[in-house]
Amino acid sequence: MKIGFIGTGNMGSILVSSFIEAKAIEASSVMVTNRTIAKANALQERYSALQVAPSAQEVIAFANIIFMCVKPHQFMDILPSHQQWFTKEKLLVSITSPLQCEELEKVVPCSVARAIPSITNRALAGASLLTFGTRCTAKQKEQLQTLFDSISTPLLINNDITRVSSDIASCGPAFIGYVLQCMINSAVAQTKISNEQATELTSQMIIGMGKLLEKKIFTLPTLVEKVCVKGGITGEGIKILQEDVEHVFDKVIQRTHEKYDDERAKIAQQFQAHHSS
Ligand SMILES: NC(=O)C1=CN([C@@H]2O[C@H](COP(=O)(O)OP(=O)(O)OC[C@H]3O[C@@H](n4cnc5c(N)ncnc54)[C@H](OP(=O)(O)O)[C@@H]3O)[C@@H](O)[C@H]2O)C=CC1
Ligand SMILES: O=C(O)[C@@H]1CCC=N1
C-alpha cells in the first residue's frame, strides 16, 4: 500500500510521523509534497526513505491512498486540475470537517473518505473521526480503519454530528489546554508559586487524570464527586466554576458551528463556480 500526503503543515506532518512510528506504514511507501517544499524536506530529513515530490501530480500518481492535508478553501486549488490523476481505484482522504464526501465525489472520480484526526494522535492516542463516501470498497474501508486504529481510536461519524465531534476530539486539546493555562496563570498571579512549578503540577495532574479515565478507575462525574469532599475546599472552587464556566461551552459550540456554516457557504460557492464553468 502506497500513501501520499498533499500538505505537510501541522496535521500532514503529524499524520506522516505517527503512521510511520506506529509502524502502520513504511517510510519507503510514503510520498509527500507541500507548497513550501522545505516543510516536506524536513520530513525526509527525519525519515530518509520517504520521498518528496515537487507537486501534487506525482503524489497522486504514486499512491493508492492520498491524504489531502490542506485547508478547506485550498482543496479547489488542487482537485479540479488533477481530476484525471485521481483514477477510480484510488482513495482520496480529506482530513477537514467542512467538506463532505458527497461533495468531493462530484469533483473527483475516485473513492472518497473523511478522516478527521486530533493532535493527540501524535502520541498514538485520542480519537479520530471517519466517514466513508459511497464509492469506498470494503477493502478501502478496512485499510483506512487499520491505519487509524494504529494511531487512535477511530469512530464512524455521520455528517450531522461531524462538527460537534470535531469540537470535542480535535479542537478539544486546544480548548482544554487553554483552560489549564488560565488556571496556571491565575495560580502564578495570585500566589507565590512559580510558573514552572504550576506548569509541572498541571501537566502531572492532566496526565494522571487521563490514566484514571484510561484505566476506567473513575468516570468524569465520579471523579468530580470523589474530589469534592462534602463541605470541603474543592466544593467552594466548584461553586465559582458553576457561576462562570457551566454554560461557556454552549457559546463555544455555537461559535464553532457558526464558523463551520461560514466555511461551508464559501466552499459551496467554490464548488458552484467549478460546476458551472
Ligand atoms: N491542526 C489540527 O489540530 C487539525 C487540523 N485539521 C485540518 O487539517 C487541515 C490542515 O490543517 P493544518 O495542518 O493545521 O494547517 P497548515 O496550514 O499547517 O497546513 C496546510 C498545509 O497545506 C499546504 N498547502 C496549501 N496549499 C497547497 C497546495 N496547493 N499544494 C501543496 N500544499 C499546499 C500548506 O503549505 P504552506 O507551507 O506553503 O503554507 C501547509 O503546509 C485543515 O483543514 C484543518 O481543518 C483536522 C484536525 C485537527
Ligand atoms: O476540520 C476540523 O474540524 C478541525 C478541527 C481542528 C482543526 N480543524
Do residues 34 and 11 make contact, with C-beta atoms less than 8 angstroms apart? Answer: no
Mark which of 118, 135, 157 sits at the end of a domain: 157
144 and 8 in a single domain? The answer is yes
Predicted confidence at residue 206, as pLDDT, reads 98
Distance CA 115, CA 128 (A): 7
Q: Which amino acid is at 79?
A: L
Is any atom of ligand 1 closer than 6 Å to the C-beta of 101?
Answer: no
What is the total count of domains within the chain? Answer: 2
Q: Where are the beta strands (DSSP E) in 104-194?
A: 111-116, 127-132, 153-156
152 and 202 in a single domain? The answer is no
Task: Identify the nearest ligand to the CA of 163 by its number.
Answer: 2
Confidence of residue 274 (pLDDT cuts 50, 70, 90): confident
213 Cα: distance to centroid of ligand 2 (angstroms) = 24
Distance CA 44, CA 27 (A): 9
Encode 159-189: b = buried (16+ Cβ within 10 Å), e = exposed: eeebbebbbbbbbbeeeeeeebeeebeebbe
119 and 19 in a single domain? The answer is yes
Distance CA 59, CA 40 (A): 12
Ligand 2 pocket at CB < 6 A: 96-97, 116, 166, 170-171
Task: Identify the nearest ligand to the CA of 260 by its number.
Answer: 2
- Is residue 264 domain-resident? no
Encode 59-83: b = buried (16+ Cβ within 10 Å), e = exposed: bbbbbebbbbbbebeebbebbeebe
pLDDT over 90 at 169, yes or no: yes
pLDDT over 90 at 229, yes or no: no
Evaluate whether ipTM surpasses 0.90: yes
Predicted confidence at residue 275, as pLDDT, reads 82
47 and 184 in a single domain? The answer is no
Containing 174, the helix (H) or strand (E) segment is helix 172-190
pLDDT over 90 at 177, yes or no: yes
Residue 236 sits in which domain range? 165-252
| Long-range contact pairs involving 165-169 (C-beta distance under 8 Å, separation at least 24) | 165/116, 165/129, 166/97, 166/116, 166/129, 167/252, 167/253, 167/256, 169/116, 169/118, 169/126, 169/127, 169/128, 169/129
CATH code for the domain in which residue 228 is found = 1.10.3730
Distance CA 264, CA 271 (A): 10
In this prediction, residues 97-116 reach a mean pLDDT of 96
pLDDT over 90 at 277, yes or no: no
Distance CA 160, CA 147 (A): 24
115 and 240 in a single domain? The answer is no
pTM recorded for the entire structure: 0.95
Predicted confidence at residue 162, as pLDDT, reads 96
In this prediction, residues 82-107 reach a mean pLDDT of 96
81 and 143 in a single domain? The answer is yes
Predicted confidence at residue 27, as pLDDT, reads 98
The binding site for NADP(+) comprises 6-11
pLDDT in tens, 180-228: 999 999 999 999 999 999 999 999 999 999 999 999 999 999 999 999 9
Mark which of 134, 157, 180 sits at the end of a domain: 157
Task: Identify the nearest ligand to the CA of 12 by its number.
Answer: 1
pLDDT over 90 at 231, yes or no: no
185 and 146 in a single domain? The answer is no
54 and 131 in a single domain? The answer is yes
Is any atom of ligand 1 closer than 6 Å to the C-beta of 170?
Answer: yes
Q: How far is CA 154 from CA 26, 40, 45, 53, in A?
A: 21, 26, 29, 29
98 Cα: distance to centroid of ligand 1 (angstroms) = 14
CATH code for the domain in which residue 48 is found = 3.40.50.720
Distance CA 119, CA 227 (A): 29
Do residues 191 and 183 make contact, with C-beta atoms less than 8 angstroms apart? Answer: no
Q: Between vectors from CA 259 to CA 254 and to CA 264, what angle results, nearest 5°?
A: 125
Of residues 229 and 56, more confidently modeled: 56
- Is residue 261 domain-resident? no
Confidence of residue 152 (pLDDT cuts 50, 70, 90): very high
23 and 150 in a single domain? The answer is yes
